[in-house]
Structures are given as C-alpha cells and as structure tokens.
Structure 1
C-alpha cells in the first residue's frame, strides 16, 4: 500500500467487521463526516471519488473558540500592602503570621492572591485553606477556581474527599480531622497554610491540624522545613481568654473598620440603642464566657420584648430595604418572625436546621431584595456576603466584643442601593457585662445613642476618655496632696546595701500574679524569665515603636561561635500595648522552648535550700560580715537574686547609692543649719516663722531654703530609682 494513503481500517479498530452491519456502516460514515482530518492525511476512497467526480471535498470544521479569559482583578491599595507585609515577614524567616482586617475588606481576595506570591520551597508547592463553616469553604473554593484557572482546586468537606495532591485544597476543619482524612496531606509538599476566621485557630481541631504540619510548637520547625501559616480575621482576639499567641507569633497587618469607612471602602454605619427592660442578672454564663443561650432565651424571648423589638424597627428602620436580625435561639427566631408577620411584614428566617437548598434560595431572594427582613441565630455572624444589607437589628445581648463586631460587620459592605447601614442595638441597662455599641466606642454602656454615625461615636468616646483621665488626675493629686502635719515630706524605700535590693522580690509578686512562670523584675521596667541553660526572655518598655512593650528571646551561642557576646542576636517574639498580653505571649513561647520545671514558679525545687554553688556566687559580692550560709535562702530566691545581678541591678544600685550619699550630705548640712536656727523657731506656718527671724539671719535662711529644696529634689530622684 502506498504510504500516502490509508483505509478506514487503519484508523478505526475493526472497521472491516463494522461494514458487515448497516448500522455500523452508518455510524462509521457519521464519524468520518464530522471528524476533522489531520493535515497531510489522505484516504484512498476519498481520492478515488475526487478523481471520478472532480468535486471539492467538504472543508474541515472551524477550530473551537479560544477559552474565555477572566479579567485580572486589580487589588485595592491596602490589599496589596497587606500581601507585601506578609511576604516581607516570611522572607525574614517568620512562620506563623496573623492579619487583622475589618469585615468587608476582602479577606478572601487577599489570601487567594497571596497564594501565588509565596514561592514554592523545593517540591513544596501546595496550599491548604482551612475554614470552619460550609459557606466559607465554598466561597474560598470559588475564588481560587476563578483566580487560578490552570490549577487544580479540591474540597475536603463532608462527602467531598480531596485527593491530597491538588495545587489548592479548601477544607472544613471538622472534616479534615475526622478519621484518617488528614493523613493523605503530606506536610513536606505544602508551602502555605491559610486559616479563614483565624480567631478560632486555638480550638482543638485547628491545633491538631497545625501539629500535623509541624506548626504547633516552635521546636517543630527549628530543624525541619514546614509550611508558612497565615491566619486572617476581623477579630484577632478571643473572648474566652485563650491566647492566639499560642499559634500566631506576629500580627503583620491591621486595618480598622473606621479607617475603611473614612477611606470609602466600607459603608458608613448609623447607630441607635434601645433600652430593653430585661433583667440579665440571673442569666448564666457559658463555657466561652458569653451568656448561656437557654437561660438568655427565657429572659429575652418574651412577648413584651419581641413587641418592643418590632416597635423599635418600625420607628427607626421601616423604610430600610434589607434588614438582618440576630436572635438568641431557634425559639426566639420563630416567635420574632411571627411578630413581624403579624404586623404585615414579609419576614423570613434561616437557621442551622434549614435545608441547604431552601437556605440558599432564601439568601438569594434576600440578596435580590425580594423580601425586607431576614432573621437568624448564629448563622450569619461570619463569612456572609450580602452587601445589600442596610439595617442590622441586634435582638440578642452579648458579652463578646468579637460577636458584636461580627454582627455589625454584616451590614458594612458597599452596595449601590444603600447610603449607609443602620444598626439598632437592643441593650439591657443592668450591669451584667453586656457589650453594646456604646462600649465598642469607649462610651458608658448605659449611654443611649440616637442615630449617630461611627465617626461621631468614636469622637464622643475619645472625649469621654479624656474626661475620665482628667478626673483621674484630679483624684490622684488630691490623694497625693501633702498632709498638714508633715508638709512636703516624701516616703521612699531605703536599701542599706545592694544585697537588700537584690533580695527584695516585692515587685515580682505582681507580675507573677499575671503568669504561672517565675518572672523576675530587674528594675527600669524590665522583666526576665530564664532557663537553666542560660537562655532567657526579656520584656521591657519599647523604644521608638508604637507598641509599649516588647518581648525578646536571647539564646546562648555554642562556645565555638562566641564572639564578644555569649548570646546570639535577640529575636522579637511579641509586642503590644498591654503588658499582660505581652507576658501571656511570652509565656506561650517559653512553654515551647524551655522545660516547664525550670520556669514555673510553683515547682517544689524552688522551696528547697539554695545549692552551695548559688551561695558561693552570691557571696562573691557580699562583705565578709554579711556572707550567706546554707539554709539562709531557697533555691528559687537565690536564682532570682542571681538573675538580678546578671541583668544590671548592681550597676543601677551603685548609681542610686551615689545619689543617696549626695543626698545624705545635703541633709547633714541642712541639719546643721536647723540647729543654728532652733532658737528662732515658732509654732505656725513656715512662711510666718521665717518672717520673724532677725534680718541678720537672712543669709542663713536663704541657704536653709536652698538646701531644703535640694534635699527634697534628691529624695524625689532617689525615689525614682528602682
């Protein structure tokens, strides 16, 4: 056969047997007629037909249209700033980062675009996105599929099982920790772990996943490559007191919702508070610190209160197009929905029990403006994208600032149909720890707000805070005013020797009330927590930084690496405006790098007698007549004294002692003059006494006044020395 020609049997299997049956022949003809013929290919039967009829062959079918290319999303300026901040921190070796962004700032957009900005490390190129709600998982998967059309995106949730090999996997945290599902995800192949609504990240399920990927403890990634962790949330704090610092080391970017409103990225918000005559004093507290739901419902879900809620909405928001209502529980949803309908309004509801299809249909209808009121309980506090919401009705009290911010945030997205969002907050006036919109802006919880926007509330809160500060200053001045009996006197603590100063652990007690660890105050506002190996953590006032306190980790270099300093470059592990929070963050880090028995303040060894080595070290700087003996101090106290010596108390004491000696000389001169003037002293005000002194004593009086002022000044100066 000529190599330029081919028969049907050469490109269709068993073609000769097909021709024995008419329908096979018909099928073959159909396939031949509608299959494009490759360039250069010639069929013998077709060539014969051409020669016989000299007619042109049908032209091949046109090529398929090119795939639709999605227009590239242009990031907002702050979104690009956020991504750059994360990448910069990752480049310096940090592993566990947090991003704080207001609701509506586009958190999903940011972490979706972050994926491509984080480079692969060797063969580690995959990404895992974790979320705790179905809506968040589906939303993230949609964004990733649209953004990365050339990447495989899997979902691990419920009956959807991911392969473990996809470029991007979006997982429900409840599903991924179920059974053996986590085992198919090889940590060595992942470059990035993203956590949506990261204020949940210290819950057991998340910690289990982080441990699998080597991100739970600092020691896990000191000798092994692990993926980067980035957590994103509008509320990077937890009401239950569990510290996010256990798994997030740095918050690298923050964008407050007030800034977002001012810059036009979020809708403005108008607030109104309504007094609700509900007694919450007997409502129980749940494990998370908020009100117990069943107990709260009994107080809130009454006909009188529900009637008040509807009346408040009628008075303030009946002209709003899309109102989202937050209720206490299912029963409250049912009763309040009925109350709205009784007044002639089309109110619908969504709960956790609403079937998925019905739930989706109702949300779509509400999003399209088909009915004005949607009630829920616990469904729309996170990850809900309904930008047309122009009224949020808070019919449930809460003690949680996070929950309040999340609920308000549902109405802050921009939409062409609204000018702002009106938040109506039903609050109780009784002191029960309720967090309401006034407290959110620093106002008194009993201060009722009438149609004020966020900026006005913030300004009013700032004015109230300044007023409180002024009142506090006045009270402080009154309290510290000198008594009539001893005008101008100052109380201060004298240390007879440096050893008394070193042994004084009074200030440690306060810091140890904030921590289970044995923090030692070494003066000048500095705290030290040290281990038996010589490594230590220092907390001190921050210099040239917005944060007020900073915690740094210092570790001893191996003997071969030592230069001038026995320690490596300090690593900043936490900073912040709250000393308590920085201590907690440092405690979390210490638990990962130090052995518990060497840092905990309640260990039995601390109560045993000091070792001979400790006593010998302390006695080096003590005079012969004041040497310590075995049994004089405990191991714990001796360790604290050594820490103070090593971290500069001795030097500061010597400076204080020099000032004290100068002060003593001043006092001695003043005493001498006092004795010379004793004969002229009278009972009465000091000014009156000096007026009656003969003129010949005037030079002495001037010297007396000068020395008295100098003495007081020196006393004050000494008082300021730690």
Structure 2
C-alpha cells in the first residue's frame, strides 16, 4: 500500500466531498510532479474494494505501464479494472465492461473525439478528469464536460513545504516570435518554429549550460528531430555526453538510454515530445527549453520536469525561447476555475497577462513581479525601474529571472559596466565596452575576441 502525502490525502477527501454533493464529472487539478497517479490508484483501490468496476484512460504507452505498476502496488483489484490507451479503448468501446468510475489522466485532452466516444458510451459513469493544467489551447474548455473542479495546492506552496524543488529561471531570446504561426490545434507549427528559432541557439545552449548548470543531469526540449540531433552533437563536441530521443527511437533503445541517464552515464537527454507527461525521470536537475509553445500544459510539463525534490537541491530552468513572457514563471498564481470556462459562444478567450506582470531592471537585470516595484525603484539595486507589460531583452544576454543580487555590486562600482548594462552586443563599439560586457555576463575571452574581429577592432589575421 502506498502512503499518501498530506496534500494527496486532502485531494482524495475533496474528491469524495464533491461526489457526495452530487457532482458526477469532476476536474481534479494538481501540478506536475505531485503524484496524481498515486491519488488515482488510491481511489481505484477504494472503488474496487466495494466490488465496483474502474476504467483508467491515458494516451501514452510509457505512462500506462507506470500506472499499472502503481495500481498493483496499491492493491487495486485488477480483475475489476480496465486500463488502456485511449487509442486502443476507443476501438474496443463496444466490448468494454461498464465501469462505475472512469479515471482520465492528462485530461486536458479529454475533449478529443477518441475520449468522447468512450465517455458517451458510459454516460452514467462517474468521471474524474485529472490534469495539471485544465486550460486548453483549443476553443472549448473543460466546462463543456465537467460539473465541478477541485484545485490542488499551488506550486509555490508545494515548493515551500519541500514537495517540489526550488528553482532559478534564466532566459534568452534565441527566437523571432514574429515568425511563429499557429496550427489548428492552437500551438505553433513546426515549420514556423524552424524559421523563428535562431541558428545561434545550438552554441548558446551548450555555453550557457556550462556556465549555469555544468555537471547537472539535464533534459532539453526541442521541436524537431533535426534540431534535437544538432543540439546533441553540439554537446558531444565539447565532451558532454548527450543523446537524442524521439518518437521513432525503438522502445528497447529508449529504455536503455533512459537507464544510462539515470545511472549518470549520459549527462544530457535531448528529446522531441517524449518526456512531458508522466514519464519518470527522477534525477533531472536542469531543464533547457528550445521549443516555444502556446500550450500552458506543455510549458509547465517542460519547466517542471526538473523539480523533483532532493535535500539541498536547487533546480535550473533555462528558457531559450522566452516562454516565460507568455506564461510567467512556473509558480505564478493561476485561477484554474476561471481558466476552464468557455466564453463568447465557444470562441477562444483572450489571454489575461496581468497575473504574470513581470518587469526588468535596466541596471542590474533583475526581473521581478511588477507588484514588488515600490516608489519606482528596483527592489534589488534601488535604481529607477519602469513597470512595463513587456520586458526588453538583448539578443545574447542570458539573464537570471529570479535572483540578480550577485551582480549588483559589480555593476554599481564599475563605470563602463554601467554604460553597457542596458546595451545589446551590436551597440558596443570599443574593446573596453566589449570587455566590460563580457565580464558582466561571465562570457569567456574568446567571445570578446570574436566580437572584436567582427566589428573590425582586431585585424582579421591577428
């Protein structure tokens, strides 16, 4: 039997309270990395103990196998349990035994036709929709199929209590967002991501990993097999072991590579849409995002992949495509009850950005919630700061989003560094400015030499 954490016990109690109040179709929200499968196993165990049938639906094979193991560990009566991928169950729907309770994992997918075919077959069954992110990228929200929502503990509260690891968040704009185009699903097309993401990203990913997370086990999320292979090659060229994985990787090879990663024989996993929902990778200490998205679900799955807690751990999130500008930080406050409401007769509601209002100090590069700016001054260095809806970022700077104290003193006591603090590399015209800029951002001497050559400050043959 599995021992529930306090917040999981509270979730189970809230579910039963909602059911006893007459609700039959309930959304259960809880952040990524918080053990939703354990909660489902506990509920399935209690249900089958009363001789009632349970159905569990998921859309990923890897998650299904893990869920079966969890259900068995919890002592669920598997003779009364149907567990399967939605793709399989929807084809066999006419032969499936009628369940008393249906459990749907990653339920933000549940409006899809494959799920609806199953749910429509069993209209009198109780349904629990489990998801970390009830909000969908499509036009319709989950209020179309649910009559209650239970909101779990916030990411910030779970972090404060030690159930999630604290993190530092860095970002660089290696992307031209004007080139991004949406598909019919509401997320970006692969072709537009390919065009929008700068070719510089491959070098930036490696150099910034070395500077910020050197030696940490890391997972890179990218958008295409080609980009994943280029990123893996870039790591391997500097003797950092990296492997590319995607949907075409054979299962046995994938399992072997993941085991090598867990055993720390491989340092970096570069993947395309594999390690998002549910797959267990407990030793990830760093996440690198090289894929822009309009999906809050994907963003949280990406960014929180490294938040499994460990004594003394502080995770590193490196965002090369400015996803934080769309979604705020992973632990930003979110109103999930409002997020699931379909408005304007099914038309997509406008995104509300006020909750994620973040601004940046031009002097010390602190990025802070606008609400923390008092009297027009930066809360870190005390210099004037403008509260603005959008943060202006330079092309090649990698900035710490939530902790800038370590650079303040250095900036305030160096006149040249103050002069270059709010500039981009293309605004630098002297060797002293390049050297100050490199010192400010902890770039190596080779960066100064390369930039000086490009600007004609050093002769080409020197």
Question: What's the TM-score, normalizing by structure 2?
Answer: 0.71
The answer to whether structure 1 residue 288 and structure 2 residue 185 are counterparts is yes
* 1:101 to 1:260, Cα distance in 2 relative to 1, 3 A: same
Matching residue of 1:182: 93
Matching residue of 2:256: 361
Q: Matched residues in 1 for 2:317 and 2:241: separation?
A: 20
Match of 1:312 among 208, 211, 226: 208
Q: Deviations over 1:504-532 (max 9, x none)?
A: xxxxxxxxxxxxxxxxxxxxxxxxxxxxx
- Cα deviation for residue 185 of structure 1 reads 1.5
Match of 1:330 among 225, 239, 243: 225
CA contact (8 A) 2:137 2:295 kept: yes
- Cα deviation for residue 308 of structure 1 reads 1.7
Match of 1:102 among 28, 31, 50: 31
Larger radius of gyration: 1
CA contact (8 A) 2:47 2:54 kept: no
- Cα deviation for residue 282 of structure 1 reads 2.4
Q: Aligned with 1:427: secondary structure?
A: coil
Q: Aligned with 1:194: secondary structure?
A: strand
Q: Aligned with 2:40: secondary structure?
A: helix
CA contact (8 A) 1:87 1:117 kept: no
CA RMSD of aligned residues (A): 2.9
Q: Matched residues in 2 for 1:264 and 1:450: separation?
A: 33
Instruction: Please list, as runs of the form range in 1=range in 2, the aligned pairs for 1:112-511 lying within 5 A after superposition.
Output: 112-118=41-47, 125-148=52-75, 151-152=77-78, 166-178=79-91, 181-187=92-98, 190-214=99-123, 226-276=124-174, 278-300=175-197, 302=199, 304-320=200-216, 322-415=217-310, 419-427=313-321, 434-435=326-327, 437=329, 442-443=355-356, 447=360, 460-463=369-372
* 1:337 to 1:424, Cα distance in 2 relative to 1, 3 A: same
- Cα deviation for residue 99 of structure 1 reads 0.9
- Cα deviation for residue 312 of structure 1 reads 1.6
CA contact (8 A) 2:303 2:330 kept: no
Q: Matched residues in 2 for 1:112 and 1:104: separation?
A: 16
Which stretches in structure 2 are left out of the alignment for 5+ residues? 334-354, 377-462
Q: Matched residues in 2 for 1:366 and 1:449: separation?
A: 39
Which stretches in structure 1 are left out of the alignment for 5+ residues? 1-71, 153-165, 215-225, 468-722
Q: Matched residues in 2 for 1:167 and 1:307: separation?
A: 53
Matching residue of 1:601: none
CA contact (8 A) 2:170 2:319 kept: yes
CA contact (8 A) 1:399 1:433 kept: no
* Paired positions, count: 355
Q: Which has the higher contact order (CA 8 A, sep 6+)?
A: 2
- Cα deviation for residue 330 of structure 1 reads 0.7
Q: Matched residues in 1 for 2:201 and 2:21: separation?
A: 56
Q: Deviations over 1:262-320 (max 9, x none)?
A: 111111111111232x3231232111222111221233262x22112222212211132
- Cα deviation for residue 241 of structure 1 reads 2.8
Q: Matched residues in 1 for 2:305 and 2:2: separation?
A: 23
CA contact (8 A) 1:137 1:172 kept: yes
Q: Deviations over 1:359-410 (max 9, x none)?
A: 0111111122222111001111111211210000111222222211111121
The answer to whether structure 1 residue 76 and structure 2 residue 5 are counterparts is yes
- Cα deviation for residue 451 of structure 1 reads 12
- Cα deviation for residue 440 of structure 1 reads 5.3
CA contact (8 A) 1:327 1:376 kept: yes
Q: Aligned with 1:384: secondary structure?
A: coil
Q: Aligned with 1:271: secondary structure?
A: strand
Matching residue of 2:379: none
* 1:434 to 1:85, Cα distance in 2 relative to 1, 3 A: closer
Q: Aligned with 1:413: secondary structure?
A: coil
- Cα deviation for residue 463 of structure 1 reads 2.7
Q: Aligned with 2:172: secondary structure?
A: strand
* 1:279 to 1:460, Cα distance in 2 relative to 1, 3 A: closer
CA contact (8 A) 1:269 1:423 kept: yes
Q: Deviations over 1:130-184 (max 9, x none)?
A: 00101111111111112217x23xxxxxxxxxxxxx3111110011112xx1112
Q: Matched residues in 2 for 1:199 and 1:294: separation?
A: 25
* 1:439 to 1:146, Cα distance in 2 relative to 1, 3 A: closer
- Cα deviation for residue 112 of structure 1 reads 0.3
Q: Matched residues in 2 for 1:451 and 1:385: separation?
A: 38
Question: What's the TM-score, normalizing by structure 1?
Answer: 0.46
